[in-house]
């Protein structure tokens, strides 16, 4: 993909990670056999809770940490034992890690300075990159004079200016307040699409991951649980961990599966389903109807709680021995009251069977 910057076009690079292992001690395994392939020009997110190994993986790609076993190649070049300064990989650190003794201009130009680019060219490229990342009016300030969002932009400019094969971002938005965070998510995503550079983004926030990524990998205890597009990860999670981490509420162990029904805590759900260990009912894809109507893809329930949230209403309903959450969009229909008997329509798209 051509790059519409002043810096000329370059080919984006792929990453391939093979059976990567890393342990910090006998008790603490950070990565336990990770295999991943990132496509050229892809916005790829590593998603998981703290301690899942996502940051360690990022640091190994950057060369700041050495794997115990396994290998990484970028653009087909094997990076075993290559020190960080010889990798065409740059990182936006969680703490930004700006150099306090340099102003914004010299921070952004640092990578080019280290590559012994001519001073005049550095000045031009810093100016161009500062315009792209909207920090061109801050160039003469020192880092301590910047707000969190401004520091984030400078850190981004400092990494991007080197036109790395791969840009790594370690929870770059986690220190910002919600409003600014949402705005920068969109900006960062646009910038990546525009530059066509390969981004590897680390976050523990599944909303953020879904908004920004082409594809994402969910990590848990040093292992990749699932890789896929945000839609696949959210709608068809493969493991219990992924389903829970993506925020799903209605997950039940399948007690018995017959030819055209499933038995779980919520009772009997008639319909044809794949085999698996758990059933997931997506709360926003379920719909409620007044009264009790038995039939295929239906469950009967009683409303226990009704939480009105403006755009949607969240119902907690008792269904068999289970509590379910149903989120219905407020399109003008009447609300259901607590204690009311209802029927839940379980559309086939609302159901996911977890194989694992």
Partner 1 sequence: MQQIAKQTGQLVAIIGPGVLWIIVFLVLPSLYLISIAFLSNDPYGLPQLPLSLHAFRELAGFGLLGWSPGNLYTLGRSLWQATFATILVILISYPIAYYIATRPVHLRPLMLVLIVVPSWTNQVIRAVGWMNLFSPGTPLANLSAMLGFTEPQMGLFPSQFAVVVGMVYNFLPFMVLPLYAAFERLDHAQVEAARDLFATPMRAFVHAVLPQTLPGLLAGTVLVAVPAFGMFVVPELLGGGRSSMIGNLVARQFADGANWPLGAAGALLMILATLLGLYILRRAARRLSSEREMLL
Which residues lie near partner 1 (CB under 8 A)?
62-64, 83-86, 89-91, 93, 95, 97-101, 110-111, 114-115, 142, 144, 158-159, 162
- Output DSSP code: residue 57: H
Please list, in sequence order, all residues whose beta carbon lies within 8 angstroms of the beta carbon of residue 80, skipping any fewer than 6 positions away.
71, 72
Contact 281, 299 (CB under 8 A): no
Nearer to partner 1, 110 or 245 (CB): 110
Q: Where are the beta strands (DSSP E) in 204-255?
A: 215-220, 223-228, 250-253
What is the DSSP track for 122-180? Answer: HHHHHHHHHHHTT-TT-TTS-GGGS-HHHHHHHHHHHHHTT--SEEEEESTTTTS-HHH
β-pairing, 89-92 vs 166-170, is parallel
Alpha-carbon torsion angle 34, 39, 44, 49, nearest 10: -10
Q: Which helix (H) or strand (E) covers residue 59, if one does? A: helix 54-62
Nearer to partner 1, 58 or 184 (CB): 58
Nearer to partner 1, 24 or 308 (CB): 24
Collapsed DSSP state (helix, strand, coil) of residue 103: coil
CA angle 260, 264, 266 (to 5 degrees): 110
Q: State in angstroms the smallest separation of the CB of 48 from partner 1.
A: 21
CA–CA gap between residue 328 and residue 350 (Å, rounded):
13
Nearer to partner 1, 62 or 246 (CB): 62
Q: Report the DSSP beta bridge partners of residue 258.
A: 261
Q: State in angstroms the smallest separation of the CB of 213 from partner 1.
A: 22
Nearer to partner 1, 170 or 283 (CB): 170
Nearer to partner 1, 164 or 228 (CB): 164
Q: State in angstroms the smallest separation of the CB of 181 from partner 1.
A: 21
Nearer to partner 1, 100 or 332 (CB): 100
Q: State in angstroms the smallest separation of the CB of 310 from partner 1.
A: 41
Residue listed under structure tokens 């220190």: 175
CA–CA gap between residue 319 and residue 82 (Å, rounded):
58
Q: State in angstroms the smallest separation of the CB of 336 from partner 1.
A: 52
Q: State in angstroms the smallest separation of the CB of 159 from partner 1.
A: 8
Q: State in angstroms the smallest separation of the CB of 139 from partner 1.
A: 16
Q: Report the DSSP beta bridge partners of residue 218.
A: 47, 226
CA–CA gap between residue 206 and residue 211 (Å, rounded):
9
Q: State in angstroms the smallest separation of the CB of 67 from partner 1.
A: 17
CA angle 131, 158, 146 (to 5 degrees): 75
Q: Is 334 exposed, middle or buried (0-12, 13-18, 19+ CB in 10 A)?
A: exposed
Structure tokens at 229: 């597009």
Nearer to partner 1, 102 or 270 (CB): 102
Nearer to partner 1, 74 or 344 (CB): 74
Q: State in angstroms the smallest separation of the CB of 146 from partner 1.
A: 13
């Amino acid at each position: 993909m051509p790059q519409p910057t002043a810096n000329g076009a370059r080919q984006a690079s792929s990453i391939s990670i093979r059976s990567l292992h890393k342990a910090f001690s006998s008790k603490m395994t950070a990565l336990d056999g990770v295999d991943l392939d990132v496509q050229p020009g892809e916005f790829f997110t590593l998603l998981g809770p703290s301690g899942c190994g996502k940051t360690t993986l990022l640091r190994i790609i950057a060369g700041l940490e050495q794997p115990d076993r396994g290998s990484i190649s970028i653009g087909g070049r094997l990076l075993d034992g290559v020190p960080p300064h010889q990798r065409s990989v740059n990182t936006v650190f969680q703490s930004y890690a700006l150099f306090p003794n340099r102003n914004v201009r010299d921070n952004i130009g640092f990578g080019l300075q280290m590559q012994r680019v001519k001073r005049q060219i550095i000045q031009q490229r810093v100016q161009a990159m500062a315009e792209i990342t909207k920090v061109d009016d801050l160039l003469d300030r020192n880092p301590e004079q910047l707000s969190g969002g401004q520091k984030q932009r400078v850190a981004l400019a400092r990494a991007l200016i080197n036109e790395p094969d791969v840009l790594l971002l370690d929870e770059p938005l986690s220190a910002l307040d919600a409003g600014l965070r949402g705005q920068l998510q969109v900006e960062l995503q646009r910038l990546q699409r525009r530059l066509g550079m390969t981004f590897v983004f680390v976050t523990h926030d599944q909303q953020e991951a879904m908004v920004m990524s082409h594809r994402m990998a969910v990590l848990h205890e040093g292992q990749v649980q699932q890789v896929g597009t945000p839609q696949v990860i959210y709608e068809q999670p493969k493991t219990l961990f992924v389903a829970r981490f993506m925020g799903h509420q209605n997950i039940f162990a399948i007690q018995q599966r017959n030819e055209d029904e499933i038995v779980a805590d919520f009772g009997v759900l008639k319909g044809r389903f794949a085999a698996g260990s758990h059933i997931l009912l997506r709360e926003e894809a379920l719909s409620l109807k007044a009264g009790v109507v038995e039939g295929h893809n239906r469950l009967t329930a009683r409303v226990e709680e009704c939480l009105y949230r403006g755009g949607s209403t969240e119902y907690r309903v008792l269904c068999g021995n289970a509590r379910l959450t149903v989120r219905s969009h407020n399109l003008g229909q009447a609300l259901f009251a607590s204690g009311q008997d209802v029927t839940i329509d379980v559309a086939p798209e609302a159901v996911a069977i977890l194989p694992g």
